[in-house]
């Protein structure tokens, strides 16, 4: 038992060191938490660049929640957007109205715009600001598939949008008449025009100037009026997390379209070559991501079906001898489906060059594949019994009209139709009748 005591002692010492380290770690974590909760006055800054979609709405909602939890003085959302989805826009505005911290929408940097859905979002903020050389407006609604709405439906949708933006403008004490024109007539305004018209509250050249301009400004929150005191406030940027970055990337119309094309191409290769595995795996993953993105973007359902139909035609062409007609139909279906997939939704348009590149690449690929299949179907067999047709044979015995011939290393029974053939004379195989060859004399 004696020799074991040093080992036991060392074990007890290691346990005490571990326990002390754990307690020290807890202490440091508590100090860091206390420092975090006692941090000085700060303003949370979010940045939105691109189309307004559900990922954008989720990011803004999370950012405002983070600002509320950390006791931020305000939330500044830097916006540069061509517009986006109505549903995502309304989710963002509802979060503005429920926020317990002031929300400032800042259209920046120079050259940025707050068009379409961005106009609603800017006017819904507690404080609306713009940088020099920026624009706001052009908020006329369009259909879910990007098409121009007509008839009674156009009147209903437009009136609904007008009522919504006028309610927002009146709540924030901004120019409701201009807001109505932005929806009905798609009017736009520069930052100076918007300031004179009462569409926004101030113009600031950069973020520090905006923070300074916010000092002493009173805003109305659900709990009552609040006066901002931003002097000396620190700026804390809250960016998208990795998941939001990924989802925002694939919900770009061009990326979603490429994913859909890649998915259907991979599945085509797997179905035409069962057991390849890799194309099927890649195609399946790409298809799931594409369907997620298309659902988030509210893509035109008819466009998606036309693209699927195009690939079905390409696949059927492999087994049906249509002399390329199915391929032509598939290319036409692909072009039409790609054109109407995202046609005109502000900020969600499909790039012409991306569409043209994908259509040309896929059409060329399937034209090559189908062409190879058609050529293989038309090519005369070179092996087996059918491969003997047209070959030259040598008579082993007299053919009068039946006898034996030697062709391609084998002896065959043969029948000649044009007279007697002497042994050693050459004949040509015309057809196969059961187990006999029908031959003709080889004329000089």
pLDDT digits (tens, 9 = 90+) for 208-231: 999 999 999 999 999 899 999 998
With CA atoms as reference, report the closest residue to 161 among 113, 110, 112, 90.
Answer: 90
Residue 145 scores a pLDDT above 50 = no
Contact 238, 165 (CB under 8 A): no
58 is catalytic: no
* pTM strictly above 0.75: no
Distances (CA, A) of 42 to 32, 52, 156, 232, 235: 17, 26, 44, 8, 6
- Establish whether 213 is a catalytic residue: no
> Which of 280, 259, 260 lies closest to 271, judged by CA?
280
User: What's the average model confidence in pLDDT over 115-134?
Assistant: 96
First to last CA, the chain: 111
Query: pLDDT (tens digit, 9 = 90+) per residue, 383-419?
Result: 556 667 778 888 888 888 888 888 877 888 888 877 7
Range picked from 1-10, 64-73, 140-149, 260-269 for highest mean pLDDT = 64-73
Query: Residue 392 in contact with residue 424, Cβ under 8 Å?
Result: no
* Largest Cα span, the chain: 118
Look at phi and psi of residue 125 and say left if phi exceeds 0, alpha if psi is from -120 to 50, else beta. Answer: beta
Check 58, 116, 188, 261 and give the catalytic one.
116
In angstroms, the CA 145 to CA 348 distance is: 10
Among candidate residues 49, 156, 196, 391, the one labeled active-site is: 156
Q: Over pLDDT 70: what percentage of the chain?
A: 83
pLDDT of residue 171: 94
Higher pLDDT, 185 or 144: 185
> Can you give the pLDDT at residue 426?
85
Cα distance between residue 156 and residue 175, in whole Å? 22
pLDDT of residue 139: 84
Per-residue pLDDT at 147: 47
């Amino acid at each position: 038992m004696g020799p074991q005591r040093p080992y036991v002692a060392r074990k007890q010492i290691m346990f005490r060191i571990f326990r002390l380290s754990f307690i020290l770690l807890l202490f440091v974590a508590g100090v860091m938490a206390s420092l975090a909760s006692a941090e000085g006055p700060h303003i949370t800054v979010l940045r939105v660049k691109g189309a307004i979609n559900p990922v954008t709405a989720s990011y803004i909602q999370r950012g405002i929640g983070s600002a509320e939890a950390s006791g931020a003085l305000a939330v500044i959302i830097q916006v540069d957007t061509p517009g986006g989805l109505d549903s995502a826009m309304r989710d963002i505005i509802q979060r503005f109205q429920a926020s317990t911290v002031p929300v400032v929408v800042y259209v920046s940097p120079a050259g940025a715009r707050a068009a379409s859905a961005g106009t609603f979002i800017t006017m819904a903020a507690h404080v609306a600001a713009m940088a020099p050389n920026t624009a706001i407006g052009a908020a006329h609604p369009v259909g879910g598939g990007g098409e121009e709405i007509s008839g009674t439906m156009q009147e209903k949708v437009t009136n609904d949008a007008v009522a919504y933006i006028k309610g927002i403008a009146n709540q924030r004490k901004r120019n409701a008449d201009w807001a109505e024109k932005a929806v009905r007539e798609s009017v736009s305004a520069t930052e100076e025009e918007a300031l004179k018209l009462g569409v926004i509250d101030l113009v600031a050249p950069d973020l520090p100037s905006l923070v300074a301009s916010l000092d002493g400004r009173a805003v109305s929150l659900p709990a009552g009026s609040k006066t901002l005191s931003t002097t000396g406030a620190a700026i804390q940027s809250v960016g998208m997390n990795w998941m939001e970055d990924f989802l925002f990337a694939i919900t770009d119309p061009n990326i979603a379209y490429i994913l859909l094309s890649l998915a259907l191409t991979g599945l085509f290769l797997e179905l035409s070559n069962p057991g390849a595995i890799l194309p099927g795996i890649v195609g399946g993953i790409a298809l799931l991501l594409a369907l997620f993105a298309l659902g988030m973007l509210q893509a035109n359902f008819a466009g998606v079906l036309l693209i699927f139909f195009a690939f079905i035609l390409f696949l059927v062409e492999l087994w049906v001898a249509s002399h390329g007609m199915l391929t032509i139909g598939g290319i036409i279906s692909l072009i039409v489906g790609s054109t109407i997939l995202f046609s005109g939704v502000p900020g969600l348009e499909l790039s012409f060059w991306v569409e043209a590149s994908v259509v040309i690449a896929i059409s060329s690929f399937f034209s090559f594949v189908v062409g190879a299949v058609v050529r293989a179907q038309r090519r005369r067999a070179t092996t087996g019994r059918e491969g003997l047709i047209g070959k030259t044979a040598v008579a082993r015995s007299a053919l009068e009209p039946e006898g034996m011939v030697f062709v391609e290393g084998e002896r065959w029974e043969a029948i000649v139709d044009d007279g007697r053939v002497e042994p050693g004379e050459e004949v040509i195989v015309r057809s196969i009748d059961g187990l006999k060859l029908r031959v003709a004399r080889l004329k000089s």
